Structure 1
């Protein structure tokens, strides 16, 4: 079984805390530990802030979340770049997450933060002439977490009549 969610949002700074809170409540309901949820919230905030800063004005963006087994996969997908070019053009300095970011750097810190708290961090151009920030996080469950049972197909423990 897999749990999926997609949010379609305006490119507006107000959408960042809303998105973070929606995903956090979902993870809390599934029974993900608070430390894991905090890492996801931080990475998601940085990825959404990247869209707010770099995507084309007025463009919408999409947040895709998938949970399968103990893995949460998140993609933040923007449409267009602020400079009007193809999405891949503005990725040259951002795609490299490894290595130091100078203290005076204007860009690149968000991806370093995502890389510090998540796995398989990728930044790539997409078909919408924008960029996709992809990252994954291994979920740590609370004892008797509903999400663990749902994903394992163990619905009997959640069924009140069982």
Structure 2
């Protein structure tokens, strides 16, 4: 069995915990190991926070929405966060930790540490950033949706 969902969220800080709670609830219900669930929820929170901070505005200054898509199957979870901002200005390399006195800049590095596979780039055509990541799932022994 697989589970798939997609959210179209307003680009505001209150949307980040909403996406995180939905992911955690989905994984708890499915029977994913809590440590894996936690890692993915932190990575999702960082990707959403980046979309909220860097996503674009409409011509009248209203924040654009961003999208979160999650897919759980028997082996892995795939998460993608896309926004409508300017995207990344240069081809993206592996994230490097921010300097110790920086106020931000750790999110992409943290995502890379928590996930098994990370892709960071721009949406083709219209612009905007895309951060997607996968993690191999571990299941609780009593997991109702565990792969057989």
Instruction: Please give the range of the TM-score, normalised by the shorter of the 2 chains.
Output: 0.7 to 0.9
Distance apart, 1:145 and its partner CA = 0.6
Q: Helix, strand or coil: the match of 2:146?
A: helix
Residues 141-152 of structure 1: matches in 2 within 5 Å?
141-149=139-147, 152=148
Q: Which consecutive residues of structure 1, in runs of 5 or more, have no partner in the other structure?
A: 82-86, 153-162
Q: Which consecutive residues of structure 2, in runs of 5 or more, have no partner in the other structure?
A: 58-62
* Higher share of residues assigned helix: 1
Query: What does residue 73 of structure 2 align with?
Result: 68
TM-score, scaled to structure 1: 0.80
Query: What CA distance in whole angstroms lies between the structure 2 residues aligned with 1:8 and 1:103?
Result: 34
Q: Helix, strand or coil: the match of 1:80?
A: coil
- CA distances 1:13-56 after superposition (whole Å, capped 9, x unpaired): 00000110011001000001111111011000000001011111
Residues 116-131 of structure 1: matches in 2 within 5 Å?
116-127=113-124, 128-131=126-129
TM-score, scaled to structure 2: 0.87
Query: What CA distance in whole angstroms lies between the structure 2 residues aligned with 1:41 and 1:59?
Result: 23
**Structure 2 CA distance for partners of 1:98 and 1:62, relative to 1, 3 Å:** closer
Query: What CA distance in whole angstroms lies between the structure 2 residues aligned with 1:104 and 1:64?
Result: 33
Q: Helix, strand or coil: the match of 1:148?
A: coil
Query: What CA distance in whole angstroms lies between the structure 1 residues aligned with 2:137 and 2:13?
Result: 27
Query: What does residue 32 of structure 2 align with?
Result: 32
Aligned residues: 142
Of 103, 109, 114, the residue aligned with 2:111 is: 114
Distance apart, 1:69 and its partner CA = 2.4
RMSD of aligned C-alpha atoms? 1.8
